[in-house]
Amino acid sequence: MQVILIQDVNNLGGANELVTVKNGYGRNYLIPQKLAVEASPSNLKQLNEKLKQQAKKEAKLLAEINNVINVLKEGVLKIGAKTGTSGKIFGSVTSVQIARAIKEQKGYEIDRRRIHILDDVKELGTFKAKIDFGNGNETEVEFEVVSE
C-alpha cells in the first residue's frame, strides 16, 4: 500500500513523502493517527502541487539569502569597544555585538546564534566571523574592532 506522509514518522520517512507500507500498518495506524493519507490520484496531484510551491518558496528564499550575503561582503563592519591604555579591550566582542552592528550598519537582522566568531576577540584589529544561514549557505564577515 502506498501512502503520503503528512508528518515525519520515525524509521519511515519525512513529511510530504510517498512511501510503501504494509496494508495493516497503513490502514490501522498511519491513516487513523493522521500521520498519512492514502496515495490516491487526487492526493498525488495535491502532493505534486505542494512540492512545486515549496520549491518556488525555497528558490525565493535562496535569492534573498544571496542578496544578504552580497550586502554583508561589501564592507567591513565597525564595532566599538572600550579599551585600556595597552590597546586591549575590556571583555571580548560577542556575537550579540556583531548582530547589533549588522542591524545598524547593513539593515539586516540576523539571529546571534547563527554567528560564530572564529578567534577570541580581545584586542583592537580586524577579525572574521562566520554566519550560517542554514541549508549549506554560509558566509564570512569581516569586522573591525575600534576604540570608542
What is the domain extent for residue 35?
2-64
Q: How many CB atoms lie within 10 A of CB 129?
A: 21
The reply to whether 54 and 74 lie within a common domain is: no
The reply to whether 130 and 82 lie within a common domain is: yes
The reply to whether 29 and 85 lie within a common domain is: no
pLDDT score recorded for residue 71: 86
At residue 87, does pLDDT exceed 80?
no
The reply to whether 57 and 21 lie within a common domain is: yes
pLDDT score recorded for residue 41: 95
The reply to whether 71 and 58 lie within a common domain is: no
Contact 116, 130 (CB under 8 A): yes
* Among 40, 64, 88, residue at a domain's last position: 64
The reply to whether 72 and 52 lie within a common domain is: no
- Sign of the torsion formed by the C-alpha atoms of 144, 128, 100 and 74: positive
- What is the three-class DSSP state of 19? strand
CATH code, domain with 39: 3.40.5.10
User: Total structural domains in the chain?
Assistant: 2
pLDDT score recorded for residue 88: 84
pLDDT score recorded for residue 70: 87
Which cell numbers in the block locate residue 106? Answer: 547593513
* Among 45, 64, 83, residue at a domain's last position: 64
The reply to whether 41 and 84 lie within a common domain is: no
* Among 14, 30, 64, residue at a domain's last position: 64
Does the reported pTM lie above 0.75?
no
The reply to whether 139 and 90 lie within a common domain is: yes
Percent over 70 (pLDDT), the chain? 100
DSSP 29: I
The reply to whether 40 and 51 lie within a common domain is: yes
